[in-house]
Amino acid sequence: MTEKAEAMPKGDTARSRVRIVLVRPRGAGNVGSVARAMKNMGLHDLVLVRPSLRRRFWATAMAVHAVDLLDAARTVQTLDEAVADCGFVLGTTCRRGPYRSRARTPRELAPQIVSFARSGPVAIVFGPEDHGLSNHDLRCCQQLIHVRTESAYPSLNLAQAVLLCCYEIRQAEFDGRGVGSQPARAPAGDVEFAYQKFEAALLRIGFLNTENPDHIMFAFRRMFGRSGLEPRDVRILLGLARQIEWYGRSAATFEDVS
């Protein structure tokens, strides 16, 4: 079911810069269905992180006329690699938990996704079929996204979840919502580097618990992630980390001396 020839040249849409990232997918059929759903909605950029797919013929079977998209999909070994060039990285979640609050719906986020995609690549990250994204995976994500479903059966099939995200993005682009471009975000690789320096500095001054530094670091990641760091913000954060680090080291040295 469908209608209306709403074609745009492949490279000219914001959607063409929205990447779907599947982390450790297991169902070949699901990956094929994802490819079909993406092509139905005008997305093209599929990346698989360490897939473990058996019976690959199911992928081709379920992709139907989206085998081209499936063939063009890239495979990488880490999520960091998959999103390194992306200015905005969204992680899907189906669970609640301390690091999973503040999730918003695809409908709420779609205009923002379209705006960011006008100036550079945006990634939406989906976890494995059985458990979803781990807390470690979510580190890389600046914004959580979830589809509201019934508590009686909340868990969507992977391709269904991808479809709903792609559908809302397509709608937002056609609605003219998300008009006006956002300032360019810093690439995720640079942001991650700055987080690591910041974490090291906070460990140095004993602000983070060495047993569980992630607890507070997640709060910072969330704060800065919601904010969306621009290149200059990242430089400032790096500078601050350096300065804290210096003071932490000096104090330690003086303590040793005294």
Q: Which of 237, 150, 157, 151 is nearest to 201 (CA)?
A: 237
Asked if 203 is part of the footprint of a copy of itself (rule: CB under 8 A), the reply reads no
Residue 251 lies near a copy of itself (rule: CB under 8 A):
yes
Sign of CA dihedral 14, 127, 79, 213: positive
9 vs 77, beta carbon nearer a copy of itself: 9
Count the Cβ atoms, other than its own, within 10 Å of residue 247.
13
Planar angle of CA 12, 15, 16, nearest 5 degrees: 60
Task: Considering the complex, state which of residue 77 and residue 107 has its C-beta at the smaller distance from a copy of itself.
Answer: 107
Q: Is 153 in the site for a copy of itself (CB under 8 A)?
A: yes
Contact pick of 85, 131, 134, 247 for a copy of itself (by CB under 8 A): 247
Q: Does 239 bind a copy of itself (CB under 8 A)?
A: yes
Which residues within the stretch 92-151 sit at the binding site for a copy of itself (CB under 8 A)? 92-94, 96, 101-103, 105, 107-108, 126-127, 132, 145-151
* DSSP three-state, residue 42: coil
Phi, then psi, of 94 in degrees rounded to 5: -120, 5
Minimum distance from residue 148 beta carbon to a copy of itself (Å): 5
Q: Which stretch binds a copy of itself (CB under 8 A): 18-26, 76-84, 111-119, 240-248?
A: 240-248
172 counts as binding a copy of itself under rule CB under 8 A: no
Q: Does 238 help bind a copy of itself (rule: CB under 8 A)? A: no
In the chain, beta strands by DSSP E: 18-23, 45-49, 74-76, 88-92, 122-126, 143-145
Nearer to a copy of itself, 4 or 54 (CB): 4
Distance between CA atoms of 28 and 48, rounded to whole angstroms?
A: 11
CA–CA distance, 50 with 180 (Å, rounded to integer): 36
Dig out the tokens for 154 from the structure: 């909340």
The verdict on 33 binding a copy of itself (CB under 8 A) reads: yes
Q: Which residue number, 72 or 251, has a Cβ lying nearer to a copy of itself?
A: 251
Least distance in angstroms from the C-beta of 154 to a copy of itself:
4
Question: Per the structure block, which two tokens stand in for 125?
Answer: 């990250």
* Residue that has been written with the tokens 């009686």 in this structure: 152
Window 47-86: residues binding a copy of itself (CB under 8 A): 64-66
